[in-house]
Structures are given as structure tokens and as C-alpha cells.
Amino acid sequence: MGNGMPTIVEAYKGTDETTIQSIGCGGMGGEMTAVDARDGKIVRIRPYRMDERYTAEELAPSMWELEKDGKTFRPAMKGAPNYFSLAYKNRVYSKNRVQFPLKRVDWNPDGERNTQNRGISKFERISWDEAIDIIEAELSRVIESYGPFSVLCVGEDGHRESKDLHAGGGMHANLMSKLGGYTRETRTPDSVEGWYWGAKHVWGSGSNKGLGMCAPVQTGYNSWNVIKDITEYSDLVCFDAGDWELTQNYGSQFLSRLLKYWEELGKEFVVVDPFCNYTAACHETMKWIPILPATDSAFDFGVMYVWITEGLYDKEYVETHTVYFDKLRAYVLGEDEEGVAKTPQWAAERCGVPAHTIKAYARNVGRKTASHCHFSSGAVKVPYSHEAGRTGAYKLAMQGLGKPGVQQLHLNAMVVAKEKIARSTTAPFSSINQCRMFYPTVQSLPRTEVANAINNGKVKWWGSPCIVYVETSEQFQEFNYPAPADKGGAKIHLLWSEKPCNMNCWNGGFTFQDAIRSPEVECFITNHQWLENDSLFADLVLPVTTCLEDNDSMGAGMSVALRRSGLTPPACERVGESYSDFEIACKVGERFGVRDQIDLGMTQDEWLKFGFDQSELGSEISWEDFKDKGYYFPQIDPAWKDLPAGMRPFYDDPVANPLDTPTGKLEFWSDALAEHFPDDKERTPMAKWLVGGPASEGWTHDESLWGERCKEYPLLVTASPARFRVHVQGDDIKWFREIETCKVRGKDGYQYEPLWIAPEDAEARGIADGDIVKIFNDRGTVLLGARVSERVMPGSVMVHKGSRVDPIAPHLDRGGAINLIAPQATVSQHCKGFVVTGYLTEVAKVTDEEYEGWKKAYPDCFDRDYDPAIGINYKSWVVE
């Protein structure tokens, strides 16, 4: 390819070699692993010792230690990679791996495109030259016919492999920025919708992505000492959302070790969740409070009623650090125009938690020093999630947020100690941004509205298209698609995805499938390592290297004991004819004469050196030593223990350290919302218990047990992250699928995604454990395998999100991808975030007659090649 890039797929050199890798997911790296290879093939992946190339004395400046009651907690010398990383050999050599460029058999760019057959027709192998010819011709044709903004670049996401130089999202945007521009598909704050759209109107703009504790920079907020503060001062730790034992898939088993340490210190734990998740199940001291999905705000108001009537909140703090508490008090006590007291009994009738349990929880939290933990699940992803986001913030405010032991532990605070040098990107302490940036563009679309944009031709929304470090005021800005014609705005006609999992990572998956089957989408290209999910609906699939095949750099950014930067040379030879996203952009760019603008004339090794030079690593280690060692742990700030934890500066002096809310204080009522959206009955200036209703009456959702749709769909679904995959990554790892709780083997031999259902709900529907069942609503039907268990709140069911799609017919899927039947409607009228849990469904046993009817109607779907070890695979979809 020139400029030092390979012209052919280079073979791995050597016979026996071990490389150090960072096999994280979500783009943030992971614990160090040693990958042993023989003759270019991976033999095993194992934990790596951080002291193998450094002495204890050399590592000492990088080590932290927590101490409480004579018990210490420190990083272990032997790494604790998550089990996902240790099983990654299965992923690299999966039977589902895309090895060659593929074209859909009945898609002819010079003739019939048959867009209606996406997800139905199979693929055939083509050469790279043919693939690049098609891409060059299609981009040229679409740009000439409609303008460059008719190309939508999909892939601004953390749901991908951890790569740095070779990206995994953004290289196509880099290329398109050199060809006149593109439409940017922007990521919404998917893990934290409720905090972003709700809590920001309580405590201000906040840190990265509006995650959890959203305190802005001027408060002196730092996330480094939150874990230390909870260790030293908290008596009780409340898990209000998320499953910590799952988050290890983003980095390591660090959080598991931390919970064990806190257990040794005698801390109490309580989980409020519709499902007795793995964190609740595997820790003896964990108490589980079952709750109906999407009813957390009712539960919170019941708790606040007890605090107010029994004086169990920090009155002095509320008086000095907050405003408009009188409005919240009136609402909770029923002294407002609504006139309904939010008693524990009132809350119990809505959330399903007994009134006596709500009282006990409220008194326990109110009388003890308590911190709250949130992670990417539960109430922050439901219809009207801004209400639970705000009530969560209200509870923290009433407890004295920022005082010792009263913290919110969230995604951004899961690092123990502050380093001396700054972290710059998702690959900690290195900086290779230029190769993969999403460049400014005049036209964008939030990912949640792509289907509507294609189907309806126009979309209006409010809020910044960028979720990182945005001010709350940007939620009041209006955006429109298409952009004005005088600025080059155009409808999209070509989709190019570098992270193809929109249909089962985001909202309204079946609606997205309908949209990309539209003739408006004339060409759909995906770059992907595996033939799955959105790629099954593409016209052209390009084979991509895995992180273990690239010459790259990657560190560890989150949920690890020590953050690090490192070089990750190829661990094995490449599978098939795969190239990285970086190399593919260069190959296509060469056809348009802009290759040098993408790789800047640098070889891959020069790019890695460039990244090092752009970082602050050089102040602590030389490039030569860094190359020799292969990894480095930045030194800890010697004064890290003296830094104020979390919101402590605001707690100590709210006048000197104001929030960036209009009043500088925590706000129980938002004048800004009242001013900008005075007629919004869904997100009012103060959080309320919200039921919703029919669209004819101006509601976005009717997804509760108190409306009309529940008469037909009486079960609320919880769609939690899975223990055995990360989002949609790893559903084909056969070692995991051997575990009983991973899949349910139906009587037809198919491994179905489990649907967890309470015994009483199963009995009422004639469902037995192991039955093939269907979960459905007016948006479609997904087939699953029944798992009858007391771990589920009656009135609800639980399905782990991220199972691969296996389409049978439009709006009928066998793979268990639960997001397919999630609402296309977003959080609320002015909040275009996604809704992927807490919505209405019904479940029924699949009868033999129904099953045989599908087989007869769709024989090709049931005759696809099926591997009992991994399920649907490459052979299922490719014509040999």
C-alpha cells in the first residue's frame, strides 16, 4: 500500500512468541494478558504479571494502597483479566469470522439492488479489488448525485474492540471529510440516559457523558478518590442500577476484588433491581429488593416521604446547598395542586416493593452514611428515564452529597488514584486522535433517529450531537435533518458502518431493519470482523482485523487496578484477507488521491511514536525504554490522598465552589426547563411520577401497568447487560455457551437466549423451564428459551441484551435480540435518547403447530447451517 503499510496480508514471523495485549471491550482497554502463539497461531491467553519487566522498586511510584481498620487493598502483581479476554482465542478463530470481502448475491450496483432482501439473501465472496471498485464507484455516484452529506458514517461508539491507531470507528469519517463531508451519526449517552436528560438539570453540566455524578470542573470535582472515600466513611453501599460483576468485561476483575474487600470491612450492600443480578447473587452480604421495571421514581418518592416526615435528611445541607426544596416537599407530602401524598403505600402500589420494605430501606439509608453506585442499567434506560435520574439526584442531595461517605460511584469514578500526568484519550496516556476523528460536519443524526430519518425523510431534535463534556444549555438547542440546502444538506442514500450493531444495541431494532430495507438506502457497507447483526443486512461486508492481529498501542482506562499505556504488536498472523479500518480507509483513499491526508505519510510504527510524543508519557519514560518494556504504569500523584473526593469542595463551601446550574446550587426545580419547554408535560421543571398515555393525547409512551397497552401486553421487560458477552460482542464464544445459564437448548437443538420468568407468571401461561417461548408486542416477536426462576420480580421478565440477530421474517427473530422489540420512540418529546428496557411485552409458549408453521413458511431460515457450539455462523450466510 505504500508509506510502510502492507501491500498484502503479512504473515506473522517466528515460531514461538509471547506478546502482551490489552483485550478490552468498549474501546477502553483491559488488564494485561500474555498471548502465547506458535507458528503464527494463538495457543493460549493468560494473565500477565506486571512485575515481569519492572522491579518492585520501579513499580512503587505507580502503586496505590487503601487502608481501613487494619485491612489493606492494593493492586496485585498478577493481572486479573476478565474472562471475556481470556476466551478471546475463540473470538479470533470463530466460525463466524469474516475472512474475505463479501457481496450480497442479489445486490447489483449496476442493476437490481433488491433492497427488500437485506437480511434475507446470502453473500458471495469477492476480491478486494472488486470491493474497492464498488466502493469507489458508489461513493462517486452518490456524492455526484446527491452531495457528500448523503453518506451516513455509522460507528461513533464505545461498543467495539479496544484499539487505538486502528480505531474501530471513525476512519470512514476521516476519509469522507477529505471528500467533501458526510452525515455524522452521533452517539447518545446510552449508558446514562436518565442522568444526562434529567440529573444535569439538578446538578449541572458535569463530567464525561453526563455520567452519574455530573459535577462540572469549577467545583473541583475529581473522580479519583470516590472509592477511597467510600472505603473510609461509608457504612452502606446502595446499588441503584447495574451489575458490577458484569462490568469486569470492560477491564478486569478489579471491581469484584473491591467488593470482597468492602465485605471484609463489614459494609452493608443493598441492590434495588427487577432481577437478582449476578452481583446480588454471588455476594453473601448483598440484600436484594425486587422492584418492577421503570418504577424507580415511585420508589424514590416513597423513600423521600419517610425522610421528610421522620426528619431523616440533612436539613442544614438542603438549606445551604439546594434551592426549591419547598416545591419537592409539597409534591411528596401531597400539599401541592395534585394533592396526593407519596407515602410508602402509594409507592408500593406502583413499584411492587412492599410499603414496610420501603420504610426499612429509607430508615436504613437515612440513619447511616450511604453511597450509591450506578452503572449502565436499570432506571436510566427506560421510558421517561429523566424522572428516575432526577429522583436519584434528589436522594443524594437530601443526604448531603459530597460529605464524607456520601458519594455516587459511577462509570467515571472507577479509578482509585490520580496519576501525575494527564490521560488524553480512550487509550490512556497516548494520543492518536488524528487518524480516527469524527470531523465537524454541517449535518448529523442522533443514532436513535436514523430509522425515522430514512422512513420519514426528516427529523427534529434538541440537544448536542456530541455527548462528551457538553453544557446542560445545549439540550435547549434545536437541530434538524436534513440540514438547510444552502449548507449542503441532503437525505442519506449510502450507509457505511464501522461498528455494525445498531439494531441490537440501540432502540427500535425492527424499525431499523425496515429502514435499511428501504430503496432510499441504495448502498449499505459494513466493516466487521464477524458476520452478524447489522452486517447480515449489508450489501458489502469488508473483513477487519481483530485487536490481536494489529500493530497498535492500547492501555487500560476503566475498572482496572492500575491504568497503563502499552504497545500491542501483532500476536498472531491475520485471519484470511482482513485489514484494519485504518488500512481500509487508506486503500479507498488511494483511489480518490487523498491517502496522504489520512495516514499523513507515516508508517504504523511512526504513528505509534507520534502518539507517544503527543502524550505526556515522555516526562516519565523515554520512547526507547517504552518500546523495550512494552508497557508503562504512570506514576501516582504523591498527594493523591489529599485531594478532595467527589463533590467535597461543593460540600465544604458551595459559594466558593458553585455548580454551573443557574443558581450555582443543587436544584429540585429547574427554571431553565420551565423557560425553554414550558408546555412539556413529560419533562416538567421538577421530577414527578409519570405514567404516560396514548400518542393521541400527546404522550411519547404508554409503557406502564397503568395505561391501555398493558391490557394486551401485561409484562414489563428488563433488558440487562449479559454476563457472557459485552453488548453484542462474544455471543459466539463456545466456552461460554457451554455454561448452563448462558443459553437454553430447545427441543429442536437450537441454543436460545434465556428469558427469565417468575414461577407464578410462567404457570399462568403454561410455560415450563426449557420451553421455546416468544416475547412480543406490537413491534414484533423474538424467540427465546424459558428459564423459570425466583430471581425475577413477578410482573416482569428479564432478557440479557446483545444476543445476535437471526432473522426469520420481518419482525420475527430467532436469535433472542431483545432490542428488536424495544420502542422506537425515544426518552420523551425533547429527549432523543434511547429506551431499551422497562417497556411492555407479553410472553407465550411456542406451540408445535406454530413452530411447524414457521418452518413451512420460511424453510430457508430454518435450514441455515447451525453449529451447536456457536450457533448461526459464516456458513449460514455465505454461498460457497
Q: Is 474 helix (H, G, I), strand (E, B) or coil?
A: helix
Strands 443-446 and 183-186: parallel
* CB hemisphere CA count around 541 (13 angstroms): 31
What stretches of 276-430 show up as alpha helix (H) in DSSP?
278-282, 296-310, 315-321, 325-333, 344-351, 355-367, 385-399
| Residue range(s) of every CATH 3.40.228.10 domain in the chain | 193-409+644-676
Phi, psi of 809 (to 5 degrees): -155, 170
Provide the pairing of β-strand 565-568 with 631-632.
antiparallel
**Average pLDDT value for residue range 771-790:** 98
Give me the percent of the chain exceeding a pLDDT of 70: 92
Q: Which residues pair with 33 in a beta bridge?
A: 21, 47
Higher pLDDT pick, 749 / 243: 749
Q: How confident is the model at residue 217 (pLDDT cuts 50, 70, 90)?
A: very low
Task: Find the mean pLDDT for residues 362-378.
Answer: 89
Whether residue 851 has pLDDT greater than 50: yes
Can you give the pLDDT at residue 208?
Answer: 37
Nearest to 507 by CA among 452, 442, 546, 575: 452
**Domain spanning 193-409+644-676: which superfamily?**
Dimethylsulfoxide Reductase, domain 2 (3.40.228.10)
CA distance linking residue 138 with residue 128, whole number of Å: 15
Task: Give residue 622's pLDDT.
Answer: 96
| Predicted confidence (pLDDT) at residue 62 exceeds the cutoff of 50 | yes
Q: What is the pLDDT of residue 376?
A: 60
Instruction: Give the pLDDT mean for 784-789.
Output: 98
Mean pLDDT, the chain, as a whole number?
91
Fold held by 102-183+441-566+575-596 = Rossmann fold (3.40.50)
Q: Where in the chain is the domain with CATH 3.40.50.740?
A: 102-183+441-566+575-596
pLDDT tens, position by position, 256-297: 999 999 999 999 999 999 999 988 998 888 999 999 999 999
One-character DSSP codes across 174-191: HHHHTTT--EEEEPP-TT
Considering the chain, what percentage of its residues have pLDDT values greater than 90? 76
- 629, 53 Cβ separation under 8 angstroms: yes
User: Quick check: 572 pLDDT over 80?
Assistant: yes
Residues whose CB falls within 8 Å of the CB of residue 106, separated by 6 or more in sequence, listed in order: 112, 114, 117, 121
Which has more pLDDT, 439 or 684? 684
Give the domain 695-879 fold: Barwin-like endoglucanases (2.40.40)
pLDDT at 876: 97
Q: Would you say residue 649 has pLDDT above 80?
A: yes
Report the pLDDT averaged over residues 782-803: 97
pLDDT at 378: 75
8-46 per-position pLDDT tens digit: 344 444 458 999 999 887 667 888 999 999 999 999 999
Q: Which residue has the higher pLDDT, 343 or 241?
A: 343
Burial 266-283 (b: 16+ CB within 10 A, else e): ebbbbbbbbbbbbbbeeb
Going by the DSSP 8-state scheme, the letter that residue 75 receives in this structure is -
CB atoms inside a 10 Å sphere around CB 67: 12
Q: What are phi and psi of 567, to 5 degrees?
A: -95, 140
Query: What is the per-residue pLDDT for 214?
Result: 40
